[in-house]
Amino acid sequence: MTDRRGARLLRPEVSATRATFLELFFDLVFVFALTRVSVRLIDTAGASVVELVAEIGRTGVLFLALWLLWSITTWVTSRYEPERGVIQFVVVGSMFAAMVMAVALPGAFEDRALPFVLGYLAAMIGRPLIVAAALHRHPRRSVPLRLAAWAAAGAVPWLAGAFAPEELRLPLWVLALAVDGTGLLLGWPLPRLGPARASGWLIAGEHLADRYQQIFLISLGETILVIGVTYSGEAFTADRAGAFAAAFVTTALLWRIYFHRAGHLLAEALRMARSAGRLGSSVGATHLAIVVGVLATGVGYELVIQHPYDRIDPVWLAFVVGGPAIFLIARARFEYEIFGRVSWSRWGGLAALLLLAPALTRGSPMVALVAVAAVLAAVATADTWRSRGRAAEVPASPLLHGGEPGGDFHRAP
């Protein structure tokens, strides 16, 4: 018999699909956290290629830890009723943990390793244990216990890295992320219990879509913050004013390209999906890449606004051109997930960026940013032209019909 006490924690079918005010409050921490990620990368300006690659690796580890915390919290509030007191407590606790991680992030590979790790582990181990206790004897109780067990296993290399010499920290934390990532991919399997893959979870798909759209907007908000803070801290010259305007236009184009058709239909696609968990898992990985592309683009903005007509350091193109390129690749995958096809404008824009990159090494940062904006404008224009006079499309994803039915919110696991 299903435990009624635990069943009250699950999302009912009539639950609101929009994010709660508490979840939006939770997201405010990630505006700050993403700026800390950018700060680490911006500080590599003038570094050699080897130094840049090493710093991207270190910053990538820290960012992925933040992403896992945000992502699993999002799945928790899509699976359980966010208006319940225990779930609100879990969200607030995760928010504080993320704040600790964000504050420690700029020095996480130096003197703030332990606070970063303790914040992460407190959320990743404590959160599922609290949810499991609240579920009482409900069959779904085994899922958060799986998460806690795998997080405890990953805690060993996380803590070892925090106490180890700096040169050993990166490989140990990569191992820790590999444990956490393997658990996520395999469904946190345990002996005799087997896996419980997130792709098979019964969730509120429209709520999950809302959350992914919001994390994209948060990443855009971080770039707006970078543009404003950087420009306000520099002399108001015509050169920098032009770079400021070009950066803002580029951000607006990223917004336009994301939401044109596919971005608007994400909620409908998840609502129509036979298994919302399967499609949600796929678009979750896609949004990770989208956010990475936007963050890298934001780092490029700061470099351009500070040095609009200096001789460009070829390393800077990893951000000025590489960020939008990553975004277009991820956006192409996103389009396939929603419609089962990819518009030629995505590949055309990506090809244009790659072909322009060698020539841009001979110019200035401002020229590179304007060229990127022109390519993105061409992609956005092609999208508008393609849909002009046509009936609105409906989701036709190859992922819509696979997996188990997702309408019964009370079914295990």
Segment 92-151, tens digit of pLDDT: 999 999 999 999 999 999 889 999 999 999 999 999 999 999 988 887 888 899 999 999
- Name the one residue in this structure whose structure tokens are 């968990």: 277
* pLDDT at position 408: 33
The three-class DSSP label of residue 103 is helix
- As given in the structure block, the two tokens for residue 13 are 């079918």
The two structure tokens encoding residue 67: 């992403």
Residue count (the chain):
413
- pLDDT of 20 over the 70 cut: yes
CA distances for 283 relative to 10, 227, 343, 354, angstroms: 23, 28, 18, 25
For the residues 306-326, what does the mean pLDDT come to? 94
What share of the chain has pLDDT > 90, as a percent?
65
CA distance 68 to 124: 9
Higher pLDDT, 233 or 1: 233
Residue type, 47: A
pLDDT (mean) for 77-97: 92
Average pLDDT score, the chain = 89
Mean pLDDT of the region 297-316? 93
- Which CA distances in Å does 11 have to 148, 205, 274, 412? 21, 11, 18, 13
**pLDDT at res. 51:** 85
Q: Does position 199 have pLDDT exceeding 80, yes or no?
A: no
Show the 3-state SS of 199-263: HHCCCCHHHHHHHHHHHHHHHHHHHHHHHHHHHHCCCCCHHHHHHHHHHHHHHHHHHHHHHHHHH
Average pLDDT (237-241) is: 92
pTM score of the predicted model: 0.91
257 contacts 379 by C-beta, under 8 angstroms: yes
Residue 172 has pLDDT above 80, yes or no: yes
What is the torsional sign of CA 105, 109, 111, 115?
Answer: positive
Considering just the CA atoms, what is the radius of gyration of the chain in Å?
22
Q: Largest Cα–Cα distance of the chain, in whole Å?
A: 72
Q: How many helices (H) and strands (E) does the chain have?
A: 15, 0
Location of structure tokens 């971005």: 263
Which regions of 20-123 does DSSP assign to beta strands (E)? none
Q: Is the pLDDT assigned to residue 13 strictly greater than 70?
A: no
In this predicted model, what pLDDT tens digit does every residue of 56-75 receive, in sequence order?
A: 999 999 999 999 999 999 98
Residues 6+ apart with CB under 8 A from 11: 78, 79, 80, 81, 203, 204, 207, 409
Architecture label for domain 205-387 = Up-down Bundle (1.20)
DSSP code string of 336-359 = HHHHSS--HHHHHHHHHHHHHHHH
Mean pLDDT calculated for residue range 215-240 = 92
Residue 364's alpha-carbon distances to 52, 144, 245, 370, 373, in angstroms, are 20, 52, 16, 10, 15
Q: Which two tokens stand for residue 231?
A: 């420009």
Q: Is the pLDDT of residue 277 over 90?
A: no
State the pLDDT at residue 5: 63
Cα distance between residue 157 and residue 160, in whole Å = 5
Q: pLDDT, tens digit, for every residue of 285-294?
A: 999 999 999 9
Q: Which residue has the tokens 């069943």?
A: 7
pLDDT recorded at residue 16: 65
Residue 187's region, left for phi above 0, alpha for psi from -120 to 50, else beta, is: left
> Which whole number is the average pLDDT over 151-177?
96
Question: Which neighbouring-strand residues pair with 194?
Answer: 190
Quick: pLDDT tens for 374-411: 999 999 999 999 888 777 788 887 876 654 443 333 33
C-alpha dist (Å) from residue 151 to 102, 146, 200, 274, 320: 20, 9, 20, 30, 36
Q: Domain segments of the chain: what residues?
A: 4-196, 205-387
384: closest CA among 257, 220, 264, 269? 257
Over residues 256-276, the mean pLDDT reads: 87
Q: Which residues pair with 10 in a beta bridge?
A: 80
Which pLDDT belongs to residue 392?
73
Task: Quote the percentage of the chain above a pLDDT of 70.
Answer: 92
pLDDT value for 397: 75
Structure token digits, residue 241:
């004013």
User: Tokens representing 89?
Assistant: 């407590």
Q: Which residue's entry shows tokens 């469904």? A: 187
